[in-house]
Amino acid sequence: MSKVRVAVAALTLSAAGFVGILNRENIKLEAYPDPVHGWQVPTIGAGSTEGVKRGDKITPLQAINRSLREVRVFESALKGCIKVPLYQYEYDAYLQLTHNIGQGAFCRSTIVKRLNAGDYDGACEAILLFRRAGSQDCSVPGNRVCGGLWADRLRLNAQCNMTPSSYAKAAPYVAGGLVVAILLVSGLALYQYRYNEGYRAGEQDERLLWQAKWDRQAAELAAAKARNLELVREEEQRRQNEIEKVRRDAEQDIARAEADAAAANAVAGSLREQARRLASRASQCAGNPGTAQGGSAAGQSALVLADLLSRADARAGELAAAYDRARAAGLACERAYDALSATKPRR
């Protein structure tokens, strides 16, 4: 390590410094409420807040990559507002603080003012000014809300107050931090690879499972559709058969009615013949001199009776035939309606 301070433009966050950020933030893979501000500031990964929404999830490797992108943004801001050279450990300490409080707060802070004035010791002590989280003073002994924040500020203050010689003694630990960082990233990358492979395998299995379910449901629907179509055709055939039977029965009923009407007409004709004969005898009786007295009136009565009988019989036959035809037609209509309504035909 250089024993002289270096222009900040030539510095970048060390592996040990990045591990310090990860250790402080304790990576979380699902969005969680900020310890102080709650869900007003949803947080994820290693303390990331930008664009985070409640319910968001990420993988370990995504969390590290996100933190690295944020570090580059913080480095750009820090290099823009610090005008004096720094030791590597000072740079790491200030960048870790910037990651926690934001580049705007850092660049407006007393730390930067003292640094640019050449007051390195005063700048390190100014780290302890950032001891509050909202309305909480985290430096109060026994604080259970943000005690971790004060412990981090003490750690960064101690790191900032190191000397090149003391930092050189800590170099093996810095190298160890680098190895840990490499192993951590490698392990997380391997985890991410296996996670992705397992996820894809599980996703494929899940897709095949659902595809099998969809295929089975499609087959069941196709079978049900074919069965319904068969039932519709069977019902249509049944109705056609019922209509045909109703038609045949109606024709038979009408034929029987017509036959009955013909028989009734024959009987009526016989009755009319008998009435004619009766009228003829009455007429003969009226022309016999022996029965002339009172015979004329009787003959006229017989003729009138015979005529009335003949007319009544003819009219009765017409009415009977009309009734039979109407009854046959009504029954045919009723049976056809029953057949189309899928009700049991009446007998």
Question: In the CATH scheme, what architecture does the domain 8-169 have?
Answer: Orthogonal Bundle (1.10)
**Closest of 73, 68, 85, 80 to residue 107, by C-alpha:** 80
The answer to whether 42 and 52 have CB atoms below 8 angstroms apart is: yes
Residue 337 has phi, psi (to 5 degrees) of -65, -45
Q: Return all residues near 161 (Cβ < 8 A) that are at least 6 apart.
A: 121, 124
Residue 158: what residue type? A
Judged against a pLDDT cut of 80, whether residue 320 lies above it is answered with no
Q: Which residues pair with 44 in a beta bridge?
A: 48
153-185 tens-digit pLDDT: 999 999 999 988 887 776 566 556 555 655 665
Beta bridge partners of 57: 30
**Residues 265, 321: contact at Cβ < 8 Å?**
no
Q: List the single range of 12-21, 67-76, 192-201, 276-285 with lowest mean pLDDT.
A: 192-201
pTM, two decimals, is 0.52
Instruction: Pick the more confident residue, 251 or 5.
Output: 5
Cα 234 to the center of its chain, rounded Å: 38
pLDDT (0 to 100) of residue 331: 78
Cα–Cα dist 148/61, whole Å = 25
Instruction: Taking each helix axis as running N to C, give the angle between helix 15-25 and helix 88-101, from 0 to 180 degrees, rounded to the nearest 10.
Output: 30
Tell me the DSSP string of 209-229. HHHHHHHHHHHHHHHHHHHHH
State the Cα–Cα distance between residues 101 and 128, nearest whole angstrom.
13
Of 31-40, 214-223, 304-313, 338-347, which range is least confident?
338-347
In angstroms, rounded to a whole number, what is the distance separating the alpha carbons of residues 36 and 325? 98
CA–CA gap between residue 25 and residue 36 (Å, rounded): 14
pLDDT at 304: 65
Residue 9: partners with Cβ closer than 8 Å, 6 or more residues away: 79
